[in-house]
Amino acid sequence: MSKLFNVAVAGATGAVGNQMISSLEERNFPVNNIKFLASSRSAGKKLRFKGDRIVVEEMTENSFKGVDIALFSAGGETSKHFAPFAARSGCVVIDNSSAWRMDPEAPLIVPEVNPHAIAQYTNKGIIANPNCSTIQMVVALSPIHRKVGIKRIVVSTYQAVSGTGKKAIDELFDQTRAMINFVDHKTEVYPHRIAFNCLPHIDTFLDNGYTKEEVKMVNETRKILEDDTIGVTATTVRVPVFFGHSESVNVETRGHITPDEVKQLLKNAPGVKVVDDPSRNLYPLAIDAAGKDDTFVGRIRADESIENGINMWVVADNIRKGAATNAVQIAEILARDYL
């Protein structure tokens, strides 16, 4: 790639925004000029990029003039307001919030799964980055879906606090330290203590008893796999882990496939690493996935309660593959094939 691009990171001071900056640098994205945008609270702060210290600017409706690609991770409401201005000024937005994911005109992309759908970015200039839990699940399941078809997915998640943002990382740290020292702790980000606890509650509750996070997993999985007939049911749980989401995934397939065949398929699948040797206590762990861009799959075994069923354990770094890396991978395809 010889062409260079003007890039903006909107939400540069946040947990995902920070990783977007690192991923652009690590993956040597062809940057001409880079802009860091955040709220007025952060204007004037400096952040590093390739040895330079770049001043963070307050994001305004005029921030995107001359920008080719804007990576957004500044929350849904911010994105709803600013992404259309960015798109109108001619840049392609890759948005990490849930604001545009189910918009029929916005493609929802996981590069290992549906890169062809990026072409639809011309509809409104916005490409949506899926929910972190959905990304890692479809990376692991799409090879199986392509091979034998998936009828139904039952997933339970064990999600790290970094998915909520910087304040939640601090809250788990502060609560853990307070409890160990037998002093009072504050509970501000979550409705209950997260340290030494599990909360079956991610995002807000809906009338049907599910949380928005659970419904995101259902709808986004179908959109990315381009198959509305797949049944998906999810229970999403916040656990006291800093980085790395884990998932227990049960799939009922249309055709028969053995656990060994699944292992073989996934060994050759892009972005997947199979870690599955129970005899040596080897299976995917959040602490091993943290800091890496792959999706790790293990505990692959037959669901013996049904004719065509597979169970597995899927782990990935939610800030990297679940957010920033996926967004930068989309930008790489845009830069290589479309811009």
Question: 141-166 burial, b for 16+ CB within 10 Å, e for fewer?
Answer: bbbbbeebbbbbbbbebbbbbbbbbb
Q: Catalytic residue at 132?
A: yes
Question: 125-134 burial, b for 16+ CB within 10 Å, e for fewer?
Answer: bbbbbbbbbb
30, 49, 75, 156: which one binds ligand A2P (CB under 6 A): 75
Stretches 14-22, 25-33, 198-206, 288-296: which one binds ligand A2P (CB under 6 A)? 14-22
Stretches 34-42, 61-69, 201-209, 267-275: which one binds ligand A2P (CB under 6 A)? 34-42
The answer to whether residues 198 and 237 touch, using CB atoms and an 8 Å cutoff, is yes
5, 7, 13, 110: which one binds ligand A2P (CB under 6 A): 13
Backbone angles phi, psi at 254, to 5 degrees: -80, -50
11 binds ligand A2P (CB under 6 A): yes
Stretches 36-44, 99-107, 120-128, 201-209: which one binds ligand A2P (CB under 6 A)? 36-44
**Residue of 81, 91, 116, 132 with catalytic role:** 132
Residues 136-195 that bind ligand A2P (CB under 6 A): 165-166
What is the rounded distance in angstroms from the CA atom of residue 20 to the CA atom of residue 235?
Answer: 28
Residue with tokens 């600013």: 82
What's the full length of the chain, in residues? 339
24, 47, 59, 274: which one binds ligand A2P (CB under 6 A): 59
What is the rounded distance in angstroms from the CA atom of residue 175 to the CA atom of residue 118?
Answer: 42
Cβ proximity to ligand A2P: between 108 and 319 the closer is 319
Closest approach of Cβ 85 to ligand A2P, in Å?
12
What is the rounded distance in angstroms from the CA atom of residue 15 to the CA atom of residue 172?
Answer: 15
Closest CA to 239 of 176, 180, 181: 176
Closest approach of Cβ 263 to ligand A2P, in Å?
36
Cβ proximity to ligand A2P: between 8 and 148 the closer is 8
**Residue of 91, 185, 245, 256 with catalytic role:** 245
Structure-derived torsion over alpha carbons of residues 89, 90, 91, 95, reported in degrees to the nearest 10 = 70
User: Per-residue string for binding with ligand A2P, 37-56, x by CB under 6 A?
Assistant: -xx-xx--------------
Cβ proximity to ligand A2P: between 223 and 245 the closer is 245
Residue showing the smallest CB distance to ligand A2P in the complex = 14
Alpha helices per DSSP H over 185-233: 212-225
Instruction: Tell me which residues are annotated as active site.
Output: 132, 245
Instruction: Give residues in contact with ligand A2P (CB under 6 A).
Output: 11-15, 17, 38-39, 41-42, 59, 74-75, 78, 165-166
